[in-house]
Chains A and B, each alone.
Chain A
């Protein structure tokens, strides 16, 4: 167990860690500091004061085209329709070679927005209104231009080996503030992204740090396994639980000093409360109509509104996938698809940013937008109608943006070359992004470690650098 993480006594007294919730005042005197293993979710102090108390990661799974959204390449206009020079072609990864043919300038217009004059394409008109909050990284770098390795690298820091996801690390490091909810939630309208649950695995970290995958189009009671039972009334269940707790207290009174027994008594109370609290948290119909309208009555809208409700309730790490599989994987038919995808996500994302800001939550909520990679500036396959054009996978210079929680708004960091096919300036590897996110959560990424199988593992392995230039 990591020695660097102190379980602060004060934080411990304010929150229990047996899952979700607060200790009753009468229990404070008997509260004992349990080791990390026994109270895995107790609130812990990070290495230094955190700017971000929580993260909302908007995952555009499939790999959104940066060329058409956040990385304008005006120089491509004069090269449009020309083949790629061999020298460039040969530098591409094998998965792309032979598929990346002709240069295709973005057909979408870019405009300057806000005081910062940040350039955003016409596909994201609502998001563009938040230009001054966005810190756009145009020089993101991954390792392998494919979905599963890209997703696993982005989420877990390694494209192949089973490693804990960043949300698991955050939960392991910080514990959870949420009274009655899981500390790490993965939302999507329905289904699973590519690589499925490996994206939110806790790997060798204890299972409690695993993300809880929730399909937000499902009904409230189906969102969390065994959340409620419908065959008896709550009053009857309460009286049944009271009987169990009566037996439990007699049992533990005869074994004074075994803290596990008391912990379990608490955890049953918390579970009981969670039944209604979680159902409530996931019920977006409880929002005022104005708010629901702001997000829009759509799958992504509901998803993001739920994310805000969870953030408000102290959930530490929230990921929102756009949809099942890899919707942003536009190898063909990019034009109609990216229009639909941005239309689906534009208003909800803008609404989330406004909503967080109005509540004062953008101050300490880190919002991250992006996919597991980007796309090429070339047409993937041979001559077709323009509606059928697509772009291939690309990891050397794709775009991610962050907002809130102490990142520098209205800025662009890093540049791609004029073809948009490699990084010209200030590369930010995914490991660096991880180091920076952990930094905002209050951690030195080199010291947030877990001893397993004979060595201290960390999210960034032997890599990673905090990109201070992104921070205000």
Chain B
């Protein structure tokens, strides 16, 4: 047990903060000269000894107690009233300063003098008069006051039903045939700002290719009318691969747990994580209705699928947690990923106390805790606990190769028996199982593919609130149920099972005000380069309000009305004039709307690391478009030329190149990526063997068969990388470079190709 100096005052006995919002404030106790007593004798004691932890000035209310206002000590903190006016014996504050009980003695380190204690006793006996100018209740004192917060939440936009408004009529006919445009245009009109003209066809082609598939356009695409191009791109299997990345950030995808074996220094592998990644790609390619997508990820095992159904892989949403073992932290991670991912609510903050800012009492957290602690989350090496699924049948050669290697390892495990290495209390057999065998399962296509599924416990858990998040401190019982703010009736979930399907149905309910709004906002952000709600996983009171609330509602309603179809949503956004505008900066917007909230132009976007890597492979002709299956290495001598979505993600030791390029740490659900510009990114462009290798291959691939002159060769490279010819000024400058380097006896062509691949024109999409 730690010493008490960090424990909050009166923080040991109870936790519930609910119910103090309705207290009568400023009870009529005689004031005037009694206030003098407070100001002269009591406040100085509080200032020297108490306000560090119990005052708004210090932004602290440990144990929920404030001593800078009358309501503070009258209502008290988590253990109840601090002061009972007129009754020193019944006042916890007096008990604490008398230090009768070590656990509640206050102040924690330096006892008050006998004189100070006496003054406090006198003050309580006098009726504990408050300050002359009492600050009363403030936003700060109401932190965590759930009644008050629920009251505020009643008017919060995100909890209102999605109520689609008729889009306004735009005065410009070009902006009037798409509902999205009518919202954007009318808002721009209100601000007196003109939208930007439509981008050139070439610019649009490249933009659409990246936004819908994450890959550079092929030459043939430039000849297609835009509507046909959109159809082709949306129907391409590359579409699902691209949008899956958005969802894998949310569902914190990786191929290992966050921990490792200390003796072998290997991560705890998740050999079957890839089936979840493939499931997400397929779901987006098949345009699986999003409500179904929700249900399958939370409860596929309860939906009557055959036991080898590919849909079971959806449960990787739960199973692919950074936390390897069944534990309160695992459950916490799943609650967090589920509530932020689908609902934009930060329910995990309510683990130890009622949410300070959001209408989420601790009881809600433990209602969901009951749901997710009612599953079995097998250790990753308990391979047989994960069901084999259809769709990955190996060729006979693959199967034979796997069997042979598997048996060799099985033999080693048998031979190891119960032996242990000196100085290591883990068995050798276990080490082989968790390293060599796991690595085989992780990489060998002949191994049966399994769903990273969870399954029901024989008996569901009846949740109990853990006080302060401590499983050893039991509070009230709560049923497994949905969040109170979204289900005021607090209907209990099924008594028969964990309630995951009930939960999924609640989330996927068309009447749920959050689910569709949260998802359409994520998709909007990917396509437009900025979100309507700037905090995509936080739609609560603390989140940023939407820039275009009516548009958000229209999109959400239209999404649901069209069968929760991602492809419909994407198409309606990219069909809009708003999307198709030029991204060129306009000087007048730099002052009127510097962050482009109103969307008077499109946002130029930087390629994400996956798009950059895929593009390099595409222009060098190396890109292998095989889908599905086990993850491969992203870099290094044996890099896989497949798309980056199929790259191996070590959660425990995240690849430095990914990190340098803003790949979000998959330790927790991630709402959006940052965009930094740092020197290590440039070092990668200049010096990485991967980059140098792709430039070399690009030159080899072009081989200049039709290009006779040097200018033609330059144009061939330009056409390949930039989809355009070199301009005369560029030709001239490049000629100088070629002459200089040829004079130095250096082959300049791969260097020229790399110079283009390093450029902003390659990295940014207009």
Contacts and interface: CB of A to CB of B under 8 A. Distances in A.
A324 to B, nearest CB: 10
Nearest to A196: B653
A30 interface: no
Task: Please provide the 5 A-B residue pairs with the shortest distance between their CB atoms, ordered closest to farther.
Answer: A454-B346, A19-B679, A257-B585, A271-B682, A19-B678
Interface string A256-276: 111011011101101110110
A204 interface: yes
Interface string B307-340: 0000000000000001000000100000010001
Contacts of A261: 760, 764
Given A197-B654, A246-B733, A228 B676 contact: no
A243 interface: yes
Interface in B645-681: 652-654, 656-657, 659-663, 665, 667-669, 674-681
Contact of B679 (A37, A229, A241, A274): A274
A207 B662 contact: yes
Given A229-B686, A243-B734, 6 more contacts: A21-B679, A204-B667, A207-B661, A243-B737, A446-B59, A455-B356
A3 interface: no
A237 B685 CA distance: 12
Interface stretch (A7-15, A64-72, A334-342, A423-431): A423-431
Contacts of A19: 677-680, 682
A201 B258 CA distance: 12
Interface string B569-604: 000000000000000111100100000000000001
5 contacts: A243-B734, A247-B756, A274-B683, A453-B346, A462-B62
Interface in B240-282: 258, 260, 262, 265
Interface residues on A, range: 35 or more
A38 B683 contact: no
Contacts of B755: 240-241, 243-244, 247
A89 interface: no
Interface in B171-202: none
A398 to B, nearest CB: 14
Interface stretch (B220-228, B230-238, B496-504, B744-752): B744-752
Interface in A209-251: 210, 224-229, 231-233, 235-237, 239-244, 246-248, 250-251
Given A244-B759, A251-B759, A453 B656 contact: no
A229 B686 CA distance: 8
A406 interface: no
Interface in B403-460: none
B675 A37 contact: yes
Given A271-B679, A453-B336, A455-B356, A207 B660 contact: yes
A150 interface: no
B677 A18 contact: yes
Nearest to A237: B686
Contact of A226 (B265, B688, B759): B688
B211 interface: no
A41 interface: yes
Contacts of B395: none
Contact of B585 (A225, A256, A275): A256
A160 interface: yes
A236 B751 contact: yes
A232 B660 CA distance: 25
A454 B358 contact: yes
Contacts of B766: 255
B686 A271 contact: yes
Interface of A: 18-21, 37-41, 141, 143, 148, 160-162, 180, 182, 192, 194, 196-198, 201-204, 206-208, 210, 224-229, 231-233, 235-237, 239-244, 246-248, 250-252, 254-258, 260-261, 263-265, 267-268, 270-272, 274-275, 423, 427, 429, 431, 446, 453-455, 462-463, 465
B60 A235 contact: no
A38 B677 contact: yes
A213 B265 CA distance: 16
Nearest to B686: A271
B229 interface: no
A252 B287 CA distance: 39
A260 B349 contact: no
Contacts of B759: 244, 247-248, 251
Interface string B752-766: 101110111101101
A89 to B, nearest CB: 15
B138 interface: no
Nearest to B650: A197
Interface stretch (B120-128, B487-495, B536-544, B698-706): B536-544
B331 to A, nearest CB: 13
B681 A267 contact: yes
Interface in B30-89: 58-60, 62
Interface of B: 2-3, 5-6, 8, 58-60, 62, 258, 260, 262, 265, 322, 329, 336, 340, 345-346, 348-349, 356-358, 537-538, 540, 542-543, 584-587, 590, 604, 606, 652-654, 656-657, 659-663, 665, 667-669, 674-688, 692, 729-730, 733-734, 737, 740-741, 744, 746, 751-752, 754-756, 758-761, 763-764, 766
B585 A250 contact: no
A162 B685 CA distance: 30
B281 to A, nearest CB: 25
A429 B59 contact: no
B116 to A, nearest CB: 21
A162 B665 contact: yes
A106 to B, nearest CB: 25
Nearest to A242: B737
A454 B730 contact: no
B667 A162 contact: yes
Contacts of B348: 453
A247 B590 contact: no
A252 B761 CA distance: 9
A18 B336 contact: no
Contacts of A203: 665, 667
A202 B674 CA distance: 13
A255 B584 contact: yes
A197 B653 contact: yes
A208 B664 CA distance: 11
B754 A196 contact: no
Contacts of B584: 254-255
A429 B5 CA distance: 9
A232 B755 CA distance: 14
Contact of A260 (B58, B260, B677): B677
A260 B606 contact: yes
Contacts of B652: 196-198
A451 to B, nearest CB: 8
A429 B2 contact: yes
A276 to B, nearest CB: 12
Contact of A258 (B542, B604, B688): B604
Contacts of A41: 678
B349 A455 contact: yes
Residue among B652, B680, B734, B766 with max Cβ neighbours from chain A (10 Å): B680
Contact of A143 (B2, B345, B542): B2
Contact of A206 (B3, B676, B764): B676
A201 B688 CA distance: 23
A98 B6 CA distance: 29
A255 B585 contact: yes
Contacts of B654: 197
Nearest to A181: B679
B687 A204 contact: no
Contacts of B663: 207
B668 A453 contact: yes
B483 to A, nearest CB: 14
Contacts of A192: 265
A242 to B, nearest CB: 8
Contact of B357 (A224, A248, A254, A454): A454
A297 B208 CA distance: 59
B329 A264 contact: no
B252 to A, nearest CB: 11
